[in-house]
Structure 1
Amino acid sequence: MSFIFHELQDIFFERLKYFLLTEDFTIDSMNAIDLKDLKINNWRILFPEGLEQMALSFDKWQSKKTMDEMVVLSEKLENPQSKTQKISIALEIKIMKILPKNVFLKQQAFFALFKNHFIALESASYFCDILWRSLDDQSLDFSFYTKRISLFFIYVVIVFFYCGDRSENYIDTKEFIKDSLNNFSSLAILKEKIKTKINIQDIPILRYIF
């Protein structure tokens, strides 16, 4: 039963990814999704705790798909990649490829609501944790936490950057991912990089950070 339940959730998320191309991330929009072919009357059957549970599960689903795609892509590459290269690949897939950009923006707008900050934190933390685990991280000491905290910060900053990126094929975001991983220990470098590439005033939340 649990397997079937998760299969139905996966089907729902695949539909949601395209449904949100034209609809907003709201309860009313979710109620409009037709699930009759799945023998389900309402999306709440899959997510009884409501929109917040669905949004968190949707982002975790994206994280899992990222790991799957990262494995496939890594197998196609001839030369072994370093951990930094694998993290770069994962960040690019998760942020730039799993969802169409306008859907990604709608999801981030939902996470940006004050009442949803804990959901946003949990979703980002989940991604950082499974990414490190996929790299066979065996840390048992304090570095277990520092690695995840560092990656968490990088991930969040890159998300903000991508939201404001208007470069062709988002090449600036791809470069920013590489620069961020090379310079993650220097907050000042990241700040200056952001300021030179995008207009901080276009993204309200960045005005509070920078």
Structure 2
Amino acid sequence: MTDTKDALLDAAMMHVPFDGWSETTLRAAARDAEVPLEQARALFPRGAVDMALAFHKRGDDQMAAALRDEPLEDMRFRDRVARAVRLRIEVIDDKEAVRRGTTLFALPQHAADGTKALWATADRIWRELGDSSDDINWYTKRATLSGVYGSTVLYWLGNDSLGAQDTWAFLDRRIDDVMRIEKVKSAVNANPLTRTLFAGPNWLASKVRAPGDMSGYPGRWTDG
């Protein structure tokens, strides 16, 4: 089943730059991969939308495999996150397929799918880096990283610098912005005055828990 999906995705790459993630691409991929159209539709029930999502997930899988070969123990944590995001972009072998996917998921009827795909990428990165948070930090980490990854991809799509160096510099700036926010949060919690001012919101936040299956949302409320 997975091999057939991969064969269809590989075949689609020749058509996406011209026809986008569309019914035309799905039909052409099925023809080129010699897969019955009925089987292709069974694998991608919503047609090209599901095909685009499968392409995105395959990129997540490739990133995770590449990340496991990285000497992460020698890196600062912020550098591990930056490396993971960079790897996620570097495994993409067809920029136009991503550009077309960005256009597809910008449509109102597919915006939720695009948001979910971004969240899944951020979640995968955090899980691969060993994140074990089970409170509101589970959400803030993924929400923040979704923003970093999404903005970096958009920058990369419009960037033609040698070796995408401008993109990686942009990524480093976004990571640094996040680290500054984390420093401010730590300073607020360390200050007796601001800690008292935020006691209510902090108590409320402490009741939030990550999803039971650690793969989605919403979280859960605890009385403890």
- AA aligned opposite 2:41: R
Instruction: Quote the residue 1:198 is aligned against.
Output: none
- Cα deviation for residue 48 of structure 1 reads 1.8
1:120-156, Cα deviation, whole Å (9 max, x unpaired) = 1010000001110111111011111111111111111
Residues 1:51 and 2:52 aligned together: no
- Cα deviation for residue 175 of structure 1 reads 0.8
Instruction: Quote the Cα distance in structure 2 between the aligned partners of 1:18 and 1:67.
Output: 25
User: Compared with structure 1, are the counterparts of its residues 38 and 45 closer, same or farther at alpha carbon in structure 2 (3 Å cutoff)?
Assistant: farther
Instruction: Quote the Cα distance in structure 2 between the aligned partners of 1:137 and 1:151.
Output: 13
Instruction: Quote the Cα distance in structure 1 between the aligned partners of 2:147 and 2:9.
Output: 26
Secondary structure in structure 2 of the residue aligned to 1:183: helix
Instruction: Quote the Cα distance in structure 2 between the aligned partners of 1:158 and 1:50.
Output: 28
Unpaired runs of 5+ residues, structure 2, are 182-224
TM-score, normalised on structure 1? 0.75
Residues 1:31 and 2:27 aligned together: yes
Instruction: Quote the residue 1:65 is aligned against.
Output: 62
- Cα deviation for residue 62 of structure 1 reads 1.2
Unpaired runs of 5+ residues, structure 1, are 188-210
User: Compared with structure 1, are the counterparts of its residues 21 and 52 closer, same or farther at alpha carbon in structure 2 (3 Å cutoff)?
Assistant: closer
Instruction: Quote the residue 2:118 is aligned against.
Output: 124
Q: Structure 2 residue aligned with 1:83, among 77, 83, 86? A: 77
Instruction: Quote the Cα distance in structure 1 between the aligned partners of 2:75 and 2:10.
Output: 30
Moved more, 56-65 or 83-92: 83-92
If asked which structure has higher relative contact order (CA below 8 Å, sep 6+), I would say 1
Instruction: Quote the Cα distance in structure 1 between the aligned partners of 2:114 and 2:102.
Output: 8
Moved more, 80-89 or 29-38: 29-38
1:22-64, Cα deviation, whole Å (9 max, x unpaired) = 5422111221124576553352131123222222222111111
TM-score, normalised on structure 2? 0.71
* Contact residue 66 and residue 98 of structure 1 kept, 8 A: no
| RMSD over aligned Cα atoms | 2.4
Instruction: Tell me which structure has the larger Cα radius of gyration.
Output: 2
